[in-house]
Structure 1
Amino acid sequence: MSDKVGSVLVVGGGISGIQSSLNLAESGFKVYLLEDRPVVGGTMAQLDKTFPTNDCSLCILSPKLVELGRHRNVEILTYSGLEEVEGEPGNFTVTVKKHPKKVDVEECTGCGLCAEECPVEAIDEYQEGLMLRNGIYVDYSQAVPLAYTIDEEKCIGCGICEYKCEADAIEYDQEEEEVELEVGSIILSPGFEEFDPSEKEEYLFDHPNVIQSTQFERILSATGPSEGHVIRPGDGEIARKIAWIQCVGSRDKECNEYCSSVCCMYSAKQAITAMDHEEELDCTIFSMDVRAPGKEFQEYIDRAKEMGAEYIRSRPSKVVASKENNRLTIQYEEGGKPKKEEFDMVVLSVGMEPSSGAGEIERVTGIDLDDYGFAETRTFSPVQTSQPGVFVSGSFESPKDIPESITQATGAASRSSELISSEREEMTVEREYPPMKDVAGEKPRIGVFICQCGINIGGVVDVPEVTSYAESLPGVVHAENNLYTCSQDTQERIKEKIEEEDLNRVVVASCTPRTHEPLFRETCREAGL
């Protein structure tokens, strides 16, 4: 039998893959995190809030992204795909194909000068097609790795980005590269695909004011196309009356018969958030029934109703566009009687489908898929695939929400590490810190960093005014506000300011210390405080 290897391959850089990677790295194993997009983060990076707590999605995700990006025992392989798997449990040889970004990730500083001058525009996938991006781009400002990628299909070869790049990170001659990795176990967490609502022609998805649920998440987000204002994409007007149609692509014999498990909850979340963002907003949710089995989920549905959301137990038959006022009429049946009602905007609550790469993963790894195309598992072994040494987590196993994905990711990390426990810390390196500064007896030199967090904080606190006040306080030599203080680029900025301003005290006004204090303490420690 071959010797075991103390490393794990995690396929998929969404919240499930990130959690598995961090758990394994902290447990003494080398991790290779493989992601087909140029950055990690997955769908969670696109969300505005999470249910049932209404926490800012990026406020939960960003500390994990920063920890992932700075962890010495995690190697992130973005813009890459799994090509081949050979070997046996405990000792696999995997072949990975790295696609060319045309940018040196190690040299790119993420400054964005290249994108500012790029003359090419393309559909922004991160913004779900509601905005355009440049031919050289990064998905979002908190991305890991925070490095730009050139879209080869759109690039016209003008050379402007190379001319503008002060870090000399542009590499037009980059080509595809295959690398071999030795790993002891594999975790598959490639995520899911959203159901394409254009398949349901009766819901008029080609109308500009009929959107799907992730598009609405971007509208609600402070980093979205309308900076959190609930506007209609078709004309930019504030939407005053919005309808949600549930189970689009789920519980439907014409497409997917299974329940996607999250749609009832995220529709309630979107209605609650939208009513928080805009006053006098009329929200109506059409559903066959409401499935809210999680902890405090029913109370969350009740909260949406108390805030004014109307629930109509019906599956609408059709959406009709008005030729006069750009509004939309929903036709439905209630109590045996046909009815219709007019709305400003319609949100289609789309379900989850298996990852588009599921078939290729099946071919490469040899795992079995179930009748719907998700990874086949057993009832009492929910993270074990049909192949020994290959595990699964997240929505690739079945549709599930974020907390359940994280729980399963932890389980998959535990099972994969159990297989190679004898090799713990054989391939890891210890974290190194600069010498601790001796600040005893020094006059306080305080740096204050205040988080705006979109409208989550900025909507209730006058952040610029707080920043100005902080600057006037004794001992404060630097004060600034940031859109997201927990992002990787702000962590780097904090370290830079500690050195530039010779700070010996740091104050961060941000989210709860329960989730963020370890992140900021680690940043200060890396700067010698």
Structure 2
Amino acid sequence: MVKVGVYVCHCGTNIAGVVDVEAVRAFAETLPGVALARRSLFMCSDTGQEMIKQDIRDGLVDRVVVAACTPRTHEPIFRAACEAAGLNKYLFEMANIRDQDSWVHGQDHAGATEKAKKIVSSAVAKATHLKPLEDKFVDVEPTALVIGGGVGGIFSALELGGMGYKTYLVEKQPSIGGVMAQLDKTFPTNDCSACILTPVMVDAGNHPNIELLTYSEVESVDGYIGNFTVKVRRKQTYIDWNKCTGCGACAEACPAKVPDEFNCGLNERGAAYIHFPQAVPKKAVIDMEHCINCAGRKIGTEPKISKKTGKPMLAPCEKACPADAINRSLPLNPEGELIELKIGTIVVATGYKVMGKESFKEYAPQSPNVITALQLERIISATGPTGGKLLRPSDQVKPKTLTFVSCVGSRDERYHTYCSRVCCMYMIKQARLLKEKYPDLNINMHFIDVRCAGKDYDEYYVGARKMGINIFKGKVGGVEMLPDDKLRVLAYDMESGTPMEYESDLVVLATAIESNEDARKVAQVTGLQFCGAHFFRELHPKLGPVETSVEGLFVAGCCQGPKDIPDTVSQAKGAAAAAAVPLAQGKVKIEPIISEVHPEKCSGCGICVPLCPYDAITLKPYGDRPRAQIDITQCHGCGVCTAACPSGAIVLHGYTEDQIFSQIAALTA
């Protein structure tokens, strides 16, 4: 006869403020199989746990039910307490009477109490049928993968590499660096972005434990924590990187011109190009989509012979390359190269993008003098299209009046309701930098309100006001185009309570931070989930900020939500530390709540094989016919096979037939 101990938690007033805890405890004492029922103000406290341990040690209980808050955060605490007292931790069941009861029935105390009794009765019914289970362990591949080569990905890779683990850093662009590489300076210290980022990029490129896989994308992720199989597609560069010295001669010689993505389309680059001057690795690639095949030199064809000189007619990039790294006669595979990696843990740091101006018709996006804040970063950067000079895109003339518009696409029900967090500060940074360089420049800034929550951030904002920068509280209603490439700004000043209307030479939109275009593909191949704002969802917003629902996958940086550089670096280091734990342990635990086949009952029909979402089931010879076999390392305990099996041959441990039906009977009694 089992002896179930029931322990009901007040959880302060979270539960006791709605549910009559004593009534639930007294009811639990009457349930079949219950040996004792107790209550505590906080069951998760040392006092509460010690109560459980002592009852187990004294032999009073051999099953434990805790009626408290969510098992997502507290179940491990109570399982550990049971194990410490010598009871198999899987002889424990938790009844969630907070999230599923008191928090949703706050006004109906009597109803909430009755529901709590039902939940406890169901948990006790299952507990009487629990069986001891044993954890299983599998070895871990001591190798890490970081997806995304921005500042977050770089720091995650450096941390993991510094701990001694082989780390692959995958970046879709030809160079690591991400959006930070596009910035001119960083707030609130006004450090040169390139000056602080480039040494870190070089460290990652030279680190003996880090292998850069730039110009590459992850195609598939299979397996489980400790034993992932990852396929990475290295895109075709059409230039031999083993020979390329990064001199840039091919880029200068290339006659094809397309918008330069790094400079946000403000100037053009060749089809042969180097991503940016401080690129790591500093190697050239040929954008074959825009290559015009000069001199008839298609890839994989022999050169024509000049009738005048009798020599082969080479493309300009071939002739310009002093290292002989470009040979268009080679039949290079446009699909590139597919690499298969064995990985233990993965950090996803795929970064973000900023919204384009095209969505905001009220701000005259058709005007070349309406630009995004990231475009302004490139304009004022020394490596940008104007060499750092503030010039209007329409006529390359220095503006006299400059307008900043905040929250464009952020905090807006039409687009994104969230705050992009960094917009206020980078606008203030840009305004300060420009005011220092051009004291006669008239700068107007329009905010819904100024958000400067960070170390030294508010002081930075106050300093901007002291410099004579005009800061107005209120939305900009619209921007109109005028003759001579000028713009009319229509706004409202809430402090004076008056509408505003003035001419501006240049308007800068602080557009919202969004997840990258390829975030959906990354989610599909990794199994990550999105939150309501379409960023990757963390396991818990407070207790699991870098973990995800996929064991062995961690997130860092703006792919998890908008944040500034210090927060990105902090999260990146935290994700690396979490990812290193399984690598350091050398093995990971496989939960025993998985499906198991009873071969004597299995008919070998194979119905379960295609239904398994994790490809964990195969048919293998067993006696006179094939039978289903389940790979425990692949099984996630979803129960699909158990429900589908016509022979009843598959059992899901922890959710057996007698356990489930006893719960249903208790709930419907």
- TM-score strictly above 0.5: yes
For residues 7 and 302 of structure 1, the distance between their equivalents in structure 2, rounded to whole angstroms, comes to 47
Matched, 1:23 2:186: no
Deviation of the 1:2 alpha carbon: 4.1
Structure 2 residue aligned with 1:351, among 512, 527, 538?
512
Unmatched segments (≥5 aa) in structure 2 = 1-136, 295-314, 588-669
Matched, 1:385 2:542: no
SS in 2 for 1:317: strand
Match in the other structure for 1:104 = 240
SS in 1 for 2:485: coil
Equivalent runs, 1:364-403 vs 2, <5 Å: 364-377=525-538, 378-379=540-541, 380-403=543-566
Match in the other structure for 1:327 = 486
Match in the other structure for 2:8 = none
Match in the other structure for 1:278 = 438
Q: Is the 8 A contact 1:332 1:340 kept in 2?
A: yes
Matched, 1:206 2:206: no
Structure 1 residue aligned with 2:569, among 390, 396, 406?
406
Deviation of the 1:225 alpha carbon: 1.3
Matched, 1:287 2:450: no
For residues 138 and 244 of structure 1, the distance between their equivalents in structure 2, rounded to whole angstroms, comes to 32
CA 2–170 in structure 1, closer or farther in 2 if over 3 Å, else same = farther
The two structures have a TM-score, normalised by structure 1, of 0.78
Structure 1 counterpart of 2:332, which letter?
Answer: Q
More RCO (CA 8 Å, sep 6+): 1
After superposing the two structures, state which structure 1 stretch, 414-423 or 205-214, moved more.
Answer: 414-423
Q: How big is each residue's C-alpha offset from its partner over 1:232-254, in whole Å with a ceiling of 9 and x where there is no partner?
A: 11111111210000001100000
Q: Is the 8 A contact 2:404 2:508 kept in 1?
A: yes
Q: How big is each residue's C-alpha offset from its partner over 1:167-202, in whole Å with a ceiling of 9 and x where there is no partner?
A: 121254332211100110000000011112211100
Structure 2 residue aligned with 1:48, among 184, 187, 191?
184
SS in 1 for 2:476: coil
Matched, 1:122 2:258: yes
Match in the other structure for 1:363 = 524
Structure 1 counterpart of 2:506, which letter?
Answer: M
Matched, 1:249 2:405: no
For residues 355 and 253 of structure 2, the distance between their equivalents in structure 1, rounded to whole angstroms, comes to 35
Deviation of the 1:309 alpha carbon: 1.1
Match in the other structure for 1:9 = 145
For residues 573 and 228 of structure 2, the distance between their equivalents in structure 1, rounded to whole angstroms, comes to 21
Match in the other structure for 1:170 = 326
Deviation of the 1:164 alpha carbon: 2.0
CA 223–385 in structure 1, closer or farther in 2 if over 3 Å, else same = same
Q: How big is each residue's C-alpha offset from its partner over 1:474-526, in whole Å with a ceiling of 9 and x where there is no partner?
A: xxxxxxxxxxxxxxxxxxxxxxxxxxxxxxxxxxxxxxxxxxxxxxxxxxxxx
After superposing the two structures, state which structure 1 stretch, 167-176 or 225-234, moved more.
Answer: 167-176
Match in the other structure for 2:613 = none
Q: Is the 8 A contact 2:139 2:586 kept in 1?
A: no
Equivalent runs, 1:213-228 vs 2, <5 Å: 213-228=373-388
CA 423–66 in structure 1, closer or farther in 2 if over 3 Å, else same = farther
Deviation of the 1:147 alpha carbon: 0.3
The aligned length equals 423
Deviation of the 1:422 alpha carbon: 3.7
Equivalent runs, 1:74-89 vs 2, <5 Å: 74-89=210-225
Q: How big is each residue's C-alpha offset from its partner over 1:85-119, in whole Å with a ceiling of 9 and x where there is no partner?
A: 11111111101111101112221101111112111
Match in the other structure for 1:141 = 277
For residues 293 and 586 of structure 2, the distance between their equivalents in structure 1, rounded to whole angstroms, comes to 48
Q: How big is each residue's C-alpha offset from its partner over 1:308-335, in whole Å with a ceiling of 9 and x where there is no partner?
A: 1111111111101112x32111101224
Unmatched segments (≥5 aa) in structure 1 = 425-529
After superposing the two structures, state which structure 1 stretch, 53-62 or 275-284, moved more.
Answer: 275-284
For residues 174 and 390 of structure 1, the distance between their equivalents in structure 2, rounded to whole angstroms, comes to 34
Structure 1 counterpart of 2:190, which letter?
Answer: N
Q: Is the 8 A contact 1:101 1:174 kept in 2?
A: no
Deviation of the 1:135 alpha carbon: 1.1
Match in the other structure for 2:395 = 235
Match in the other structure for 1:73 = 209
Deviation of the 1:279 alpha carbon: 2.8
Q: How big is each residue's C-alpha offset from its partner over 1:13-60, in whole Å with a ceiling of 9 and x where there is no partner?
A: 000000111111111011101111111100000000000000000001
Q: How big is each residue's C-alpha offset from its partner over 1:412-431, in whole Å with a ceiling of 9 and x where there is no partner?
A: 0000001111459xxxxxxx
Structure 2 counterpart of 1:416, which letter?
Answer: A
Structure 2 residue aligned with 1:337, among 475, 482, 498?
498
Q: How big is each residue's C-alpha offset from its partner over 1:138-157, in whole Å with a ceiling of 9 and x where there is no partner?
A: 12111011000101111122
After superposing the two structures, state which structure 1 stretch, 108-117 or 155-164, moved more.
Answer: 155-164
Structure 2 counterpart of 1:148, which letter?
Answer: A
Q: Is the 8 A contact 1:229 1:278 kept in 2?
A: no
Q: Is the 8 A contact 1:229 1:277 kept in 2?
A: no
Percent identical residues:
41
Matched, 1:417 2:580: yes
For residues 535 and 153 of structure 2, the distance between their equivalents in structure 1, rounded to whole angstroms, comes to 16
Matched, 1:311 2:503: no
Structure 2 residue aligned with 1:196, among 347, 350, 356?
356
Q: Is the 8 A contact 2:277 2:383 kept in 1?
A: no
For residues 261 and 320 of structure 2, the distance between their equivalents in structure 1, rounded to whole angstroms, comes to 25
For residues 386 and 458 of structure 2, the distance between their equivalents in structure 1, rounded to whole angstroms, comes to 31
Structure 1 counterpart of 2:322, which letter?
Answer: E
SS in 2 for 1:82: strand
Q: How big is each residue's C-alpha offset from its partner over 1:294-315, in whole Å with a ceiling of 9 and x where there is no partner?
A: 0111001011111111111111
Q: Is the 8 A contact 1:9 1:33 kept in 2?
A: yes
Deviation of the 1:346 alpha carbon: 0.4
Q: Is the 8 A contact 1:230 1:277 kept in 2?
A: no
CA 11–230 in structure 1, closer or farther in 2 if over 3 Å, else same = same
Deviation of the 1:72 alpha carbon: 1.6
For residues 421 and 39 of structure 1, the distance between their equivalents in structure 2, rounded to whole angstroms, comes to 30
Deviation of the 1:163 alpha carbon: 2.3
The two structures have a TM-score, normalised by structure 2, of 0.62
Q: Is the 8 A contact 1:11 1:188 kept in 2?
A: yes
Tell me how large the CA RMSD over aligned residues is: 1.3
Deviation of the 1:3 alpha carbon: 2.5
Equivalent runs, 1:434-473 vs 2, <5 Å: none
For residues 237 and 225 of structure 1, the distance between their equivalents in structure 2, rounded to whole angstroms, comes to 14
Deviation of the 1:226 alpha carbon: 1.4
SS in 2 for 1:367: coil
